[in-house]
Amino acid sequence: MNDKLDLKHIYFRGTLRSCNYNCPYCPFRSLPMPADNDRDRLALERFCQRAPELGLDLSVMFVPRGEALIHSYYLEAMANLCSKKNIRLVGCQTNLSFSVQKFALKLANCHKKVRLWCSFHPSQVSINDFLAQCDELCKNGILFCVGAVGDPSNLNSLTELRKRLPDDVYFWINSSKRRRVEYTPKEINEFNSIDPLFSLETRYIQSDTMMCCAGRTSLFVEADGSAYACNLSRVRLGNIYNGNKLNLRNVCLSKECNCYLAYANRIDISALSVFGEDVAFRIFPSLRA
């Protein structure tokens, strides 16, 4: 790759399309768990071999379509990447339904590199059980944030969870896309009390390549190695397995940055500075000291 390029972060999404939860708002709830995940496992292993060659100080975030960490090969992949000197951080989005004890044991020698987005789904898990998992993460020194879909019918449980979580754990709320314009002022205020950045989920953020580092310092990579500026850009920049043919640049066909994976790359959203340089993981800098 061109030595002048400054790639710092990669989002990776494999072929996994299944989940052990059955959330009513999730498009993957009706997809059966596969008998095997060989295609996804092989794509992940290939990515883990290639990723350390793409930059000198990289962070990696797995953003699967479904739940990844119930599958042992994702734990292997995280441990593999964490062992590489030039891989700075490795994260994954998860519903936190896996064995935290086994996870912590597998990553015991590199747990300081691990970051998790832990999604809470009230219809699938109790607050007490979810908090017990969070406590295990804390005991093992694994940094994480917590999040949930902004369904107004779950406001009471989400408010309770926010009160019972450690104050320094960020609790993000994703806008429920199907009712984005239907939030009442009262609902918005209540979600803002849980997530002070919730307004970013409800406002229109017009795409602006001049104000975005996606495609320059950050990439979104799919299972076959196809690389895009972000998950919404829809313009293929090349393939990470084709040597020097990868052309880092910001080019986008999306009219709106309506997903955190997209607008986290914006340099003109000052509110995101609360996360410091590792905005992709939504972890407060004070926790990383």
- pLDDT tens digits, residue range 168-204? 999 999 998 655 558 999 999 999 999 999 999 999 9
Higher pLDDT, 54 or 30: 54
pTM (2 d.p.): 0.94
For range 58-82, the mean pLDDT? 96
What percentage of the chain exceeds 90 in pLDDT? 81
Mean pLDDT of the chain: 91
Alpha carbon 117 to its chain's center: 6
> By mean pLDDT, which of 130-139, 158-167, 275-284 is the weakest?
275-284
In sequence order, the 6+-apart residues with CB closer than 8 A to the CB of 253 are: 233, 234, 235
Q: What tokens does 276 get?
A: 């410091």
Q: In angstroms, rounded to a whole number, what is the distance separating the alpha carbons of residues 118 and 116?
A: 6
User: Does 286 have pLDDT greater than 90?
Assistant: no
Where exactly are the structural domains of the chain?
9-288
24 pLDDT band (50/70/90 cuts)? Answer: confident
Which fold, 9-288?
Answer: TIM Barrel (3.20.20)
Alpha carbon 10 to its chain's center: 11
Higher pLDDT, 23 or 280: 280
